[in-house]
A and B are shown apart, each in its own frame.
Chain A
Amino acid sequence: MDFYDVPSPATPDVTEPDAGPARPHLVVVGNGMAGCRTVEEVLSRDAGRYRVTIVGAEPHVNYNRIMLSPVLAGEKSFDEIVINGHDWYADNGIDLIAGDPVVAIDRAAKTVTSKAGRTVRYDKLLIATGSDPFIIPVPGHDLPGVISFRDMADVDTMLAAAAEGGDAVVIGGGLLGLEAAHGLTLRGMTVTVLHLMPTLMERQLDEAAGWLLKTALEGRGQTVLTGADTAEIYGRGRVEGVRLKDGRDIPARLVVMAVGIRPSVALARDAGLAVGRGIQVDDHMVTSDPDVLAVGECVEHDGQVYGLVAPLWEMCRALADGLVGRPSGYRGSVTSTKLKVAGLDVFSAGDFSGGEGCEDIVLRDGARGIYKRVVLRDDRVVGAVLYGDTTDGGWYFDLLKKSEDVTDIRDVLIYGQAFASGGGRGDPKAAVAALSDDAEICGCNGVSKRQVVACIDGGSTTLDAVRATCKASASCGSCTGLVETLLALTLGDEYAGERATKTVCGCTSFTHDDVRREIIAQGLKSIPEVMQKLHWTTPDGCSSCRPALNYYLLCVWPGEYQDDQQSRFVNERLHANIQKDGTYSVVPRMWGGITSPKELRAIADVVERYNAPMVKVTGGQRLDIFGIRKEDLPAVWADLNAAGMVSGHAYGKALRTVKTCVGSEWCRFGTQDSTGLGVRLERMSWGSWMPHKFKIAVSGCPRNCAEATIKDFGVVCVDSGYELHVGGNGGTKVRATDLLCKVATEQEALDYCAAFIQLYREEARYLERTAPWIERVGLAYVKARIVDDEEGRRALAARFLFSQSFSQGDPWAERAAGRNREHHAPMARFIPQEEMA
């Protein structure tokens, strides 16, 4: 390595009239942050060492690109973001060629040539060209009015557009995009952000923090569309709008594309330098040519490309050390991002993606909009994500970089440096004990520690009692832990702890009933929102809580909640029953157990066409086709659909089957049209999702051939009308039904059934069948709601039918038409080839 040897004296070059002492000539391509910083670093080490020329594409002096956002937002002027004014160049004898980009490097002659034709000879060349905005090559990307957000010229274009108002679209929900959106919103434009990924800033923030950010931005009037894939930008002569691949159309007179940046490597590549993702450099920022160096966003070091400012500064220092003959070497950077996005504080550092051996410590405070997550591995901090309160970002980053063992402060780590190093060190209980009497415990209800303790001393010895009397932790619940600690401190051994009822799972301290109540009370509408507001302790739940939350949200917000397929068990995701060998069984619906030659033929054809090894009559009066491959399911469904059959939901926590006997139409004992009622009940209730599976049967007389008294809802027809039975169950623990009531007409039987189903849907816990539910709440309660309260019954039935208006699309038909194709097809096929010697 010889690059820090002093080069031989330069020969006078074409543009430099000042001969001066024979110093080597350092030419910097790029008048941006990295290039100028390197020059500053060199000057501070050895001011007389090099003659310096800087060539920049922009017609400006060196300014702080990071501060373009405040300029757009109107918080700063251009003059305020200049780093080095003309004086700096003059005082240090630096020649600045601005507004004239370098277009070619001749390494043999050691010269660079600018667009205007200037040729400059160098001894050492520094490439600091930064990065180029990435433009998605959709149709219309080159229309006037479509810009990126990279330099002062872009800001000028945005300011001009904003002066006229109207609609703007920002493509890209990363930092730059959100800054552009924020600035344009402040300047009075109506802004829509389109982001391809499911959550904003997914590279810096985890899902929970991304969701909080989205909610906050929407609160400021921006429209944020995630999962939005741009199909085209359209307009005659200039941009008029953006069309998405799902057909949505968003008008815009300005489109800012901020989907990412790419290292600017064209110049280096043309010059024959080694280029990967960026210009490849060694630890001293030397490229494959010992006289050519590179620094900043345009370089690739040890396989890494950096887009943040801190690593650039570290590179500049290593580069300057090498240039003055005191090489230190750059070893790569651990990065942290502390940002204010649209005035909102976010921070992330290190590896927050988790992984093997990683443990998460999560704190969520819904009322204050705060989320903190610290990731540990081997008792050391390896990553952190903070939202809303970034005060401790620096401290976590410091722990991370020093790789300090945090075992001793682990249980208070998440509360921050002040807490961890203060009186509460190592014992959260002591910290609560140390709080002053005036300290606020419950922010929602303004309850102090003194009031909570007085309440406990006054006889409120459980959490519920405290909530009922002084209201502490009765609202958002985020101070529940504090109140429980106060109970323990005040009562000592007398306090047995809480929660006789079980929590949903280990991810939360809330029970099923708590969660359902809060979903309604707080208007929570998505799984991440529930997890945030209810202080989930894991980033994305588990296989117990996710299906439960998905059901609760679906039940509370019919037609509005977007079902999360990844939070469903496999059978409900694939609309078929998985078998032990990984194949599936398929049960088409047979309304009331009635079938036809056409249906039977279609089933027979499917069995033969897909080589199903077995067809079986089920206990619910239907046919079950076994041994269907996951890949064949859509084709099987298409065939069954063609014969008029739909999904039987034999796989779901849903209405399964309605079993009937033949009734008065054929049977000599039959009293009513039991098959007809069965079909009508099934038509009304099919497709509904429930806490657990739900079976119905209708028998035409008290001989009860349809076994209606071990069903969730059973009808036994009698001469004078219909007996309605509820809460029966076959299975491991057989339970016969309870008689709910008797009604006179078929319509009443239907109405009571709808009301009963809805009460079960709204109040039973997920995976609780009707039998244990009724034993828990009591038959008297169910009777009071369904039989005695006529108005309530009508309301329940109406809610059920409203919900059904959204749930009776056949999932098989949707899949057969191509929806969620990815659930069925393999991603790729691999055919191993013969190994060659």
Chain B
Amino acid sequence: MIGDWLDIGWLDEIPLRGSRTIEVEGGDDVAVFRTGDNRVFALADRCPHKHGRLSQGIVHGNAVACPLHNWKIALATGEAQGADTGCTPVVPAKVSGGRVLICRASTLKAAA
């Protein structure tokens, strides 16, 4: 049976205020973020602006700064903040027993 959540690894494998990627065969990567206060979020790994790899940006507060042009993307909604507009797909993520889980259906959708 195929579950609703993908178990992608231990929380500790993601650096604090950092990000790791999940490779999705046949699609774009999903970026998984860990904030300074140990919350976990996942987004399609592409900025709505010029498709920069958000996983490579600086994570601060509840946002990530895209490495290409410094757009700030809200981790919870995938929306560009401030004057910029655009939105990147969100993948629901959670931590259970120290393991990081991301939503399977949304992963497929985000990677498409």
**Residue ranges of A at the interface with B (Cβ–Cβ < 8 Å):** 198, 202, 206-207, 352-356, 358, 360, 538-543, 546-547, 565-571, 573-574, 578, 580, 582, 630, 822, 826-833, 835-836
Evaluate contact between B13 and A566: CB separation under 8 angstroms.
Answer: no
Q: Is B87 in the interface zone, CB < 8 Å from A?
A: no
| Subset of 29 A-B contacts with CB under 8 Å | A352-B37, A353-B35, A353-B39, A354-B35, A354-B37, A541-B60, A543-B65, A565-B18, A566-B16, A570-B57, A570-B67, A571-B67, A578-B52, A578-B53, A582-B53, A822-B13, A827-B8, A827-B13, A827-B32, A828-B9, A829-B25, A830-B6, A830-B8, A830-B23, A830-B25, A831-B25, A832-B26, A833-B2, A836-B2
Could you say which residues of chain B place their CB within 8 Å of the CB of A567?
A: 17, 58
Compute the total of residue contacts between A and B using a CB distance below 8 Å.
124
For the complex of A and B, the 5 pairs showing the least CB-CB separation, nearest first, are A356-B76, A543-B65, A827-B20, A543-B58, A540-B36
B contact residues around A541 at 8 Å (CB): 60
Contact of B38 among A353, A547, A578 (CB under 8 A): A353
Say how far A767's CB is from chain B's closest CB, in angstroms: 12
Binary flags per residue of B1-23, CB closer than 8 Å to A gives 1, else 0? 11000101100011111101111
Contact B15 A822 (CB under 8 A): yes
Question: Known: A198-B16, A827-B20, A830-B23. Contact between A356 and B62, CB under 8 A?
Answer: yes
Do B21 and A542 have beta carbons less than 8 Å apart? no
Asked if B25 contacts A832 (CB within 8 A), the reply is yes
With both beta carbons as reference points, the residue of chain A lying nearest to B77 in the complex is identified as A356
Q: Is the CB of B76 within 8 A of A539?
A: no
**Contact for B61 among A540, A574, A829, A836, CB less than 8 A:** A540
Contact of B36 among A539, A543, A830 (CB under 8 A): A539
- Chain B residues, Cβ within 8 Å of A352: 37
With A570-B57, A830-B24 as known contacts, state yes or no: A355 contacts B62, CB within 8 Å.
Answer: yes
Q: Contacts of B53 on A, CB cut-off 8 Å?
A: 578, 582
Closest to B2 in A: A833
In the assembled complex, the Cα of A578 lies from the Cα of B57 at a distance in Å of 11
Asked if A822 and B20 make an inter-chain contact with CB atoms under 8 angstroms apart, the answer reads yes
User: What B residues does A630 contact at CB under 8 A?
Assistant: 56
Cβ contact within 8 Å between A566 and B20: no
- Closest A residue to B70 by beta carbon equals A543
Bound Cα distance from A382 to B20, whole angstroms: 29
B residues less than 8 Å from A832 (CB atoms): 24-26, 108
CB neighbours (8 Å) of B70 from chain A are 543
B55-74 at interface with A (beta carbon < 8 Å)? 56-62, 65, 67-68, 70, 72, 74
Which residues of chain B are near A360, meaning CB under 8 Å? 61
Give me 11 other A-B pairs in contact (C-beta within 8 A), A356-B76, A822-B18, A832-B108 excluded: A202-B38, A207-B36, A543-B72, A566-B59, A578-B67, A580-B50, A630-B56, A822-B15, A827-B22, A829-B23, A829-B25
A540 close to B2 (CB less than 8 A)? no
Tell me which of B22, B57, B77 contacts A829 (CB under 8 A).
Answer: B22
Of B1, B9, B74, which one neighbours A356 at CB under 8 angstroms? Answer: B74
Partner of A354, one of B13, B20, B61: B61
| A570–B57 CA distance with the chains assembled, in angstroms | 6
For B60, the chain A residues whose CB sits under 8 A away are 538, 540-543, 546
A826 touches B26 (CB 8 A): no
- Measured in the bound complex, the distance between the Cα atoms of B22 and A93 in whole Å is 63
- When chains A and B are docked, how far (Å) is the Cα of A52 from the Cα of B85? 66
B30 → chain A, closest Cβ, in Å? 8
Q: Given A198-B16, A356-B77, A578-B53, verify A826-B29 contact (CB < 8 Å).
A: yes
Bound-complex Cα distance A832 to B37 (A): 31
Interfacial chain A residues near B51, Cβ < 8 Å: 582
Tell me the bound Cα distance from A568 to B18 in angstroms. 11
**Shortest beta-carbon distance, B6 to chain A, in Å?**
6
Is B107 an interface residue, CB under 8 A from the partner?
A: yes
Cβ of A580 and Cβ of B68 under 8 Å apart? yes
**In the assembled complex, how far is the CB of residue A567 from the closest CB belonging to chain B, in whole angstroms?**
7
Which chain A residue has the least Cβ–Cβ distance from B68? A580
Q: Are B36 and A828 in contact (CB under 8 A)?
A: no
Contact residue among A353, A547, A827, A831 (Cβ-Cβ distance under 8 Å from B37): A353
Q: A547's contact among B8, B58, B77, by CB below 8 Å, is which?
A: B58
Give the residues in chain B near A835, CB-CB below 8 Å: 2
Closest to B97 in A: A277
Contacts of A207 in B (CB 8 A): 36-37
> In the assembled complex, which residues on chain B have CB atoms less than 8 Å from the CB atom of A580?
50, 52, 68
Most buried by B among A355, A539, A827, A832: A827
A residues near B108, Cβ cutoff 8 Å: 832
Q: Which of A355, A358, A566, A831 contacts B18 (CB 8 A)?
A: A566
Chain B residues closer than 8 Å to A573, beta-carbon distance: 56
Q: Which residue from B8, B17, B59 sits with its C-beta under 8 Å from A828?
A: B8
- Please give, as numbers and ranges, the residues of chain A lying within 8 Å of B21 by CB-CB distance: 826-827
Q: How far is the CB of A277 from chain B (nearest CB, A)?
A: 8
**What 1/0 mask marks residues of chain B from 43 to 56 whose CB sits below 8 Å from any chain A CB?**
00000001111001
Cβ contact of B62, chosen from A354, A568, A570, cutoff 8 A: A354
Bound: A354/B53 CA distance, A: 24
Q: Within the complex, what minimum Cβ distance (angstroms) separates B73 from chain A?
A: 11
Q: Whole-angstrom distance between the alpha carbons of A394 and B53 in the complex?
A: 44
Chain B hits for A822, CB < 8 A: 13-15, 18, 20
Kindly list chain B residues whose C-beta atoms are within 8 Å of the C-beta of A565: 15, 18
Asked if A569 meets B58 with Cβ closer than 8 Å, knowing A202-B38, A580-B50, the reply is yes
Distance in angstroms between the alpha carbons of A346 and B13 in the assembled complex:
29
Contact of B14 among A355, A542, A546, A827 (CB under 8 A): A827
The complex places the Cα of A206 from the Cα of B60 at a distance, in Å, of 14
- Residues 61-112 of B contacting A (Cβ, < 8 Å): 61-62, 65, 67-68, 70, 72, 74, 76-77, 107-108
